[in-house]
Structure 1
Amino acid sequence: MRSILKFGCNLSFGILLTIGIGTAMVEPSVNAAIFDRSGRKLPDREVNSARVNWQMLSTAAGRRYNGVGLIEVNYGICTGFLFSTGVHPKAPAYVLTNGHCQGSARKLPGNREIIVNRSTKTQFTVNYFHDFKADRLTIPVKRLVYGTMKNTDIAILELSKTQQELIAAGIVPLQIAAAPPVAGEPAIVVGVPSEGVKDELNFLHAVTCQTGELANVKEDVYNWQKSLRHRCSIVGGMSGSPMISLKTNRVVGIINTGVNDNATKQPQCSINRPCEVAQNGAIQTFPQENYGQLVDRIPSCFNPQGVFDLDRASCQLERP
């Protein structure tokens, strides 16, 4: 739909970059749909319309979500969020986003690749509200501790500050749920819409919606097991946005893909036109569905000191 890749945060037009997946050159994007407040799908061209089911957050109203922020790399932007790993005072601060946000301008992670402890030039900016008057806090990422697009689409980033330092600065980490959501659970998605969005709207937005059923999703060479259907309004830049249950106030999913309006004539399951794969192998594209990835396995990989440990016996994330 709209590329997550846009030079800078406040351009009024999108500059598309291409990356290689196999032999094809494609644009990496949150390929998703926008909806009105009655749940009807809107065409992409209405992204700046007041009809879109989302609202721009203010500093006061959105304080609990000030740890959701902008991830900027040398080829584009995504959304990510600070999440809690416990109360240890020296625990590093960690941010969760998509694995596809940690590729490069030429290459996404492979469909069987699991990246562990890799250096990165990524930065993370919080307090990304339209009316925030003070200087926004931008924190360098120390390393990518875990990233993959194999069976899921997640990346865990360790920041150069501790969790306690950010809490002391007023930044609120989100809690991750220990179990998947129930279909129909009321939720809110918080992220930074970018591609196609006017400069004055290119800040944190909140989308109220519901969680859907789970489905196995295929997009090009990638297969994501137990993806979370949803009909929350999503555009480029919102890759990595948290889906937060309004019942528990815990993160139950992370946004990653959907069908591009301009890709409906492409082959099913191609880039920008993900499909669902049934148990009998049948495939079908649902343009009205967006998708996210479950996150409930992530807390199991942090030790009592709040440090990510993939070798921990309880860790449920896939290992290389």
Structure 2
Amino acid sequence: MNKPLAGALLALTLLGAGAAPAVAAEADVSAKAVDFAGTVALSNCSGSVVRTAAAQPNDPALVMSNGHCLETGFPAPGEVVVDRASSRSFGLLNSSGTRVATLRAAKIAYGTMTDTDVSLYQLTSTYGQIESRYGIKALELSAVRPAQGTDIKVVSGYWKRIYSCDIDGFAYRLKEGSWTWKDSVRYTSGCDTIGGTSGSPVVDTATGKVVAVNNTGNESGGRCTDNNPCEVDENGVVTVREGINYGQQTYTLAACIGPGSRVDLNRPGCTVPKP
């Protein structure tokens, strides 16, 4: 995983002196206006305020991050967390990367590291309240699977840094330690994400919509070990790509979100694991 970090000092210890956080002015902001607005900083990871196309202003807002970023620790293989009380806080960023508010969770609506690596928090604030108070709109979750070659940006609220690259392809299975993920997004080398970028939204620059959530990378060439995921194809052939990073697609999660921001795992098209 792109390690969740307990704080900046731990981050620098893990990542080395060359991994100091980039300031907002150094970020890569494209002509498509992909910036930090709507992203959040967690205590150990990145995330974003997200919505479906059908979300209404009075719906409770949702924050998306990784399953391995949950404050309760890594979910075990096969474990799915739903509707668990949480009071976690999130630092909301504006377009330049300045923290403008602290948002608060009401519950963990969904979280898992099985088949995918995602967490979804329901907040105590609505989408309308966040927009009216801070002028920030939620990022929209794409309802369709992204394509190979798509130009993307990985936007880290923790580091206030934006990575630019393309979708290089997809891993049929991505194995890391005890966990296995399906149909993972593989980045080209430009998205050299680091610890603390876990949970960052992966944005399609053509649409501005979120197509994946950043979660891991092969750090040292290891084979299917912690922090060194490997790809496994339909025939069981293993490929190791040292230095390459990955995200987990989110269109399957978007299909699970119904009226009132309610996560309904029985909705049509919802294929994420159930408890």
Whether TM exceeds 0.5 here: the answer is yes
Q: Any unmatched runs of 5+ in structure 2?
A: none
1:180 CA drift (Å): 1.6
Inter-partner Cα distance in structure 1 for 2:255 and 2:51: 12
8 A contact 2:66–2:118 mirrored in 1? yes
1:286 CA drift (Å): 0.6
Residue 98 of structure 1 corresponds to which residue in structure 2?
66
Amino acid at match of 1:93: A
Length-normalised TM-score, structure 1: 0.74
Residue 119 of structure 1 corresponds to which residue in structure 2?
85
1:280 and 2:246 equivalent? no
Amino acid at match of 1:219: E
Provide closer, same or farther for how the CA distance between residues 245 and 294 of structure 1 changes in structure 2, counting only shifts above 3 A: same
Residue 37 of structure 2 corresponds to which residue in structure 1?
66
Larger CA deviation: 222-231 vs 175-184: 175-184
Partner deviation per Cα, 1:206-263 (whole Å, 9 max, x = no partner): 12211121101000110101000003121111101111111111111110000123xx
Provide closer, same or farther for how the CA distance between residues 69 and 313 of structure 1 changes in structure 2, counting only shifts above 3 A: same
Inter-partner Cα distance in structure 2 for 1:103 and 1:82: 18
Provide closer, same or farther for how the CA distance between residues 80 and 131 of structure 1 changes in structure 2, counting only shifts above 3 A: closer
1:174 CA drift (Å): 0.6
Length-normalised TM-score, structure 2: 0.86
Residue 304 of structure 1 corresponds to which residue in structure 2?
259
Tell me which stretches of 4 or more aligned residues in structure 1 moved more than 6 Å: 128-131
Inter-partner Cα distance in structure 1 for 2:71 and 2:260: 29
Amino acid at match of 1:181: P
Partner deviation per Cα, 1:78-113 (whole Å, 9 max, x = no partner): 111011233423210001110000154xx4101101
Partner deviation per Cα, 1:20-62 (whole Å, 9 max, x = no partner): xxxxxxxxxxx9xxxxxxxxxxxx7643599xxx94379xx97
1:122 CA drift (Å): 1.9
8 A contact 2:108–2:120 mirrored in 1? yes
8 A contact 1:120–1:144 mirrored in 2? yes
Inter-partner Cα distance in structure 1 for 2:17 and 2:108: 35
1:130 CA drift (Å): 7.0
Amino acid at match of 1:279: E
Provide closer, same or farther for how the CA distance between residues 282 and 164 of structure 1 changes in structure 2, counting only shifts above 3 A: same
8 A contact 2:12–2:19 mirrored in 1? no
Residue 180 of structure 2 corresponds to which residue in structure 1?
223
Residue 150 of structure 1 corresponds to which residue in structure 2?
114
Residue 4 of structure 2 corresponds to which residue in structure 1?
4
Provide closer, same or farther for how the CA distance between residues 84 and 289 of structure 1 changes in structure 2, counting only shifts above 3 A: same
1:127 CA drift (Å): 1.6
Provide closer, same or farther for how the CA distance between residues 211 and 144 of structure 1 changes in structure 2, counting only shifts above 3 A: same
Choose 1 or 2 for highest CA Rg. Answer: 1
Amino acid at match of 1:151: D
Inter-partner Cα distance in structure 2 for 1:159 and 1:108: 21
Aligned pairs (5 A) from 1:1-320: 3-7=3-7, 10-11=8-9, 14=12, 46-48=18-20, 55-56=26-27, 65-72=36-43, 77-85=44-52, 86-104=54-72, 107-127=73-93, 132=98, 136-169=100-133, 170-192=135-157, 202=159, 204-215=160-171, 216-230=173-187, 231=189, 232-261=191-220, 264=221, 266=222, 268-313=223-268, 315-320=270-275
Inter-partner Cα distance in structure 2 for 1:278 and 1:2: 22
Amino acid at match of 2:122: E
CA RMSD of aligned residues (A): 2.9
Q: Any unmatched runs of 5+ in structure 1?
A: 17-30, 32-43, 194-201
